[in-house]
Amino acid sequence: VFVLDPAAETGGASRWWLHHSLAALAADFAARGGRLVLRRGDAAAIIPALAKESGAVAVHAGRAHEPWLREADRRVAAALQDAGIGFHRHRSALMFGPERITTKTGGVYGVYTPFSRACFEAFAPRPPIAAPGRIAAAGDPGSESLADWGLLPTQPDWAGGLRASWTPGEAGARARLDAFLANGFGAYDRQRDLPGIAGTSGLSPHLHWGEIAIDAVWREAAAAAGREAARQTFLKELIWREFAAYLLWHTPDLATRPMKAQFANMAWRESAADLAAWQRGRTGVPIVDAGMRQLWQTGWMHNRVRMIVASFLVKHLLLPWQAGERWFHDCLVDADAASNAASWQWVAGSGADAAPYFRIFNPVLQGRKFDPDGAYVRRFVPELANLPDKYVHAPWEAPEIVLRGAGIRLGARYPNPIVGLAEGRERALAAFAAISGTAP
């Protein structure tokens, strides 16, 4: 059973993924003689009624961790109890229930490294359970039509890049994991920061939508052939995901309120024009524009580039991190509420174990370091494809004759930077110093 809450704030890319993920799940059930029942509305009313309709004596569900889903779970549990029907929650999305991991004194971890050590010491992935060959259908409860839910974009249909990039569903998740373990896993620690190559697993949306279990990913990565440095780096990244969920569990307003109180006094700028330029990938800073265009075209962005574009928004442009969090939530197919909010707070300096406010990524240096041949920029910013490597991350440094030879007129075909990098850095340092109590 899947119940869609019409009031849920689901981004456009997530709605696209949800449609295809449910379609794949329904097909898997049908192949085993079962049926996926779809309903829209209040789960606290729908689930008890459906349980009675089908003669069920108990309801089993994956355990929710997001604050709004936890509240929905509580309401469902109360309604089922009133109806005399059992309700059993099971760990599914995470390695642990977030309340299980505490410091030695019973407190909450605020720093990743000791949290990571605790996870490594305590986590034992569950053995795999084979999928049933047949699923017995319980009666014939009515189901809504997935097509009638209107999850897919139609006018216009902007999802072509998503279709070309992803295969939602368990089969797509399994194919991604197998390909990663066979090819990129052994060099993960060396290649994960290089956006121009396929150096990461690409599993984040599949994990977010529950199409593959975290236990399976951990178990198979731990057993796979490869360098130990690569293995440990990958497993630690899985724990970063766990840490974000842990923070959201203990900080329900993580997506809106800074964890560090002084950031509530931050003098953020207001500029609809700058925000729109950032969203559209028209900032005039190539690595930033490449990342934002990758996000729009594919519903995903390389993690290194996520840090670069986020730092540019909150520091060089001095725009509030919440605006970036909301845009990512709408555009990402892996729009995980915990990871998204925790990552934005980390970059802004307001979150747990956050980067210090004076750490301001220079997007040109970041581009030259992690995309040295410009392959990533050229893929997503084709206007710059003919520039020499020397200038592809800073076209404003190119002589006019080089720009003409590459077919570029700055300010026309490709924009000039919307902020000077040195100017933006100094403005950010002054603003952040003001709330930290230090001199600029």
What residues are labeled active site? 237, 240, 268, 303, 321, 344
CA distance 375 to 372: 8
Distance CA 230, CA 180 (A): 12
How far is 308 from 212, CA to CA, in rounded Å?
A: 29
Best CA proximity match to 24, nearest among 207, 181, 209: 209
Q: How far apart are CA 302 and CA 287, in angstroms?
A: 11
Q: Please name the amino acid found at residue 368.
A: R
Taking the C-alpha atoms of residue 358 and residue 395, their distance in angstroms, rounded to an integer, is 26
Residues 6+ apart with CB under 8 A from 209: 17, 18, 21, 168
HSE of 2, CA atoms in CB hemisphere, 13 A: 19
Cα–Cα distances (Å) from 232 to 116, 183, 198, 210, in that order, read 11, 17, 19, 23
CB 316 within 8 A of CB 419: yes
Q: Are the C-beta atoms of residues 230 and 195 closer than 8 Å to each other?
A: no
Would you state the structure tokens that stand for residue 323, as one six-digit string? 């605006």
